[in-house]
Structure formats: structure tokens, C-alpha cells
């Protein structure tokens, strides 16, 4: 058996490079059996990578059309990647639409605002991240990182996302330990605090292969030592592509399977008829 699901798929509705139909077609062609469509929910001023506010009905209609088209061949779930924002909590734009979603990914990308009033993001380039840390935290890296995991914990407790998105994306710009050391006791404590909340809330944590493809080996989420802790704590795990191009619908899946087997994983979680169930791979 192989891994046959991907619940983190972008498209032209946000910052993906292909149409939703092309993404779904690629999933079917590569043999996936269960997928979730997850555009970035609209954020004011961030139309470059989030969905235009006026397109949400069209988004639901297109997913429904594809569900009808593929039928039993491919389970397609209506999802969204929704930001947990430090100032407003779960992106309020989605409040009227939550009951139309089969599931959602909760992600923390924004930790503060810049001088011009826009959010700054942990997954922007490192120069902008550094500016943001200076502005919001007076350069205090430890406080920045601890807040990041604190927001992640609050998000899973208060908003109950099905999946916590790229749980350690705070390390995206940490190549060569530019900002912090992952083996520092305070960093481990921050991660463990979040894992305890995820365990309690039965949140599914994703292995996210999208960063790896776009930004290099240090952007494989989560880090290996965290994957081991997830196993030890028996927290639900799934494998997602955070896919932005149709060719990458199951990018790095074979390698992830080998990695998981080497860590004695025998199952991950999958959606079956809208319920999260273990799947032996
Ligand atoms: Zn994201
Ligand atoms: Zn994403």
C-alpha cells in the first residue's frame, strides 16, 4: 500500500499555478483516492496569495462540480487553509462559510504588523521576517518563536482545525541556525507545548512536503525529531503536499513513506466519508 491522500492543495483561486480541475485531474492520474482542496482564505491587502473575496461562491461551485465529475473514483473534500491571526483569531472572513467546509487547515503565518499596517509573515523572505521581529518583538527571537507556538496552541484549542498546517514553519528562514537552535531547551519546550495541545484536541498534524520542493531541505515540516515525538505521543499524522503545481501533487511521497517506515510508523490518518480514520500504508 502507498499513501493515496493529499489534503493541502492550492490552485488558481489563490497562489497555485494550475486550475482546480487540473490539480484534481493530476491527483486522479497519480492514483490518489482522497484529496482536499484548500485555498488560502481571503486576507485584506493580501490578494497576491489569498483568494479574492468575491470568488468564494465560485470556489464552492467548482469543487462541487468536480465532486460530481469524479464520483467514487476520487473522494474530494471541500476545505480551506485559514489563518489564525494574532489580532482577530481565526480569519473572520470565513465565519459565514464554515458550515460549507468538510474540513479546514488552520495555519499561523502572521505574527505582527509592519509600519504600513500590513501583516508580516513568518514564511516571507528572511529580511522581511527579521524586520518584522525587530518591529513587533524588538529583535527578541525567543519571544517570537514562543508566541508562534502559543498561537498554534490557541488555534487548536479555540478553533479546532482538522489539520494544523506546517506546524514548524517558523523555522523556514532558520537555515544554518540563523535565528535559533532547534536543540535549545526553550525551543523544545515550545514545540512540546503545542504537541500536547494537538494531542488533547485530536488535531491531525501534517507532514508537509511543499516547502521542501520550493525552498530546500530545511523546509521539510515537521523536523525529524518532532516526527519522532509525534509517534511517541501517538498524535494523528497525515501526509500533505501543500501543492501549488499539478506535477507536484504527490511530491516526495515515496521518500516520506520510507522515512515513516524507518520510524516504525505503519499508519497515517485519512478522511473516509468525512471522518478521520487510520490508514495502513
Ligand atoms: Zn500555509
Ligand atoms: Zn498551503
What was the pLDDT predicted at 129?
96
Cell of 81: 487553509
Structure pTM? 0.97
Sheet of 89-90: strand order equals 89-90, 81-85, 105-107, 163-164, 204-208, 237-240
pLDDT in single tens digits along all 281 residues of the chain: 799 999 999 999 999 999 999 999 999 999 999 999 999 999 999 999 999 999 999 999 999 999 999 999 999 999 999 999 999 999 999 999 999 999 999 999 999 999 999 999 999 999 999 999 999 999 999 999 999 999 999 999 999 999 999 999 999 999 999 999 999 999 999 999 999 999 999 999 999 999 888 888 889 999 999 999 999 999 999 999 999 999 999 999 999 999 999 999 999 999 998 999 999 99
Q: Which domain holds residue 86?
A: 5-280
DSSP 262: H
- Per the CB < 8 A criterion, the answer to whether 240 and 207 are in contact is yes
CA of 56 from ligand 2 middle (Å) equals 17
Quote the number of domains for the chain: 1
Kindly report the CATH number assigned to the domain that includes residue 88.
3.20.20.140
Ligand that comes closest to the CA of residue 240: 2
What was the pLDDT predicted at 216?
85
Ligand that comes closest to the CA of residue 109: 1
Cα(111)–Cα(179) distance, integer angstroms? 16
Ligand that comes closest to the CA of residue 80: 2
CA of 75 from ligand 1 middle (Å) equals 23
Amino acid at each position: 500500500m502507498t499513501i493515496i491522500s493529499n489534503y493541502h492543495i492550492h490552485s488558481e483561486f489563490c497562489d497555485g499555478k494550475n486550475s482546480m480541475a487540473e490539480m484534481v485531474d493530476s491527483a486522479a492520474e497519480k492514483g490518489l483516492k482522497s484529496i482536499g482542496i484548500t485555498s488560502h482564505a481571503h486576507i485584506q491587502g493580501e490578494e497576491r496569495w489569498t483568494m479574492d473575496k468575491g470568488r468564494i461562491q465560485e470556489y464552492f461551485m467548482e469543487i462541487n462540480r468536480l465532486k460530481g465529475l469524479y464520483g467514487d473514483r476520487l473522494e474530494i473534500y471541500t476545505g480551506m487553509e485559514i489563518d489564525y491571526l494574532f489580532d482577530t483569531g481565526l480569519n473572520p472572513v470565513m465565519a459565514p462559510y464554515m458550515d460549507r467546509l468538510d474540513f479546514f487547515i488552520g495555519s499561523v503565518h502572521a505574527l505582527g504588523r509592519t509600519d504600513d499596517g500590513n501583516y508580516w509573515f513568518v514564511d516571507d523572505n528572511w529580511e522581511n521576517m527579521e524586520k518584522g521581529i525587530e518591529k513587533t518583538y524588538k529583535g527578541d527571537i525567543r519571544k517570537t518563536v514562543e508566541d508562534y507556538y502559543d498561537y498554534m496552541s490557541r488555534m487548536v484549542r479555540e478553533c479546532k482545525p482538522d489539520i494544523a498546517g506546517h506546524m514548524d514553519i517558523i523555522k523556514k528562514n532558520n537555515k544554518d541556525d540563523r535565528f535559533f537552535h532547534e536543540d535549545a531547551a526553550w525551543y523544545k519546550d515550545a514545540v512540546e507545548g503545542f504537541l500536547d495541545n494537538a494531542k488533547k484536541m485530536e488535531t491531525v498534524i501534517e507532514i508537509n512536503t511543499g516547502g521542501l520542493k520550493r525552498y530546500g531541505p530545511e523546509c521539510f515540516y515537521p523536523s525529524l525529531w518532532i516526527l519522532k515525538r509525534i509517534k511517541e505521543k501517538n498524535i494523528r499524522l497525515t501526509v500533505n503536499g501543500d501543492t501549488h503545481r499539478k506535477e507536484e501533487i504527490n511530491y516526495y511521497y515515496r521518500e516520506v513513506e520510507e522515512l515513516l517506515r524507518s520510524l516504525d510508523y505503519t499508519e497515517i490518518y485519512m478522511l473516509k466519508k468525512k471522518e478521520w480514520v487510520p490508514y495502513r500504508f
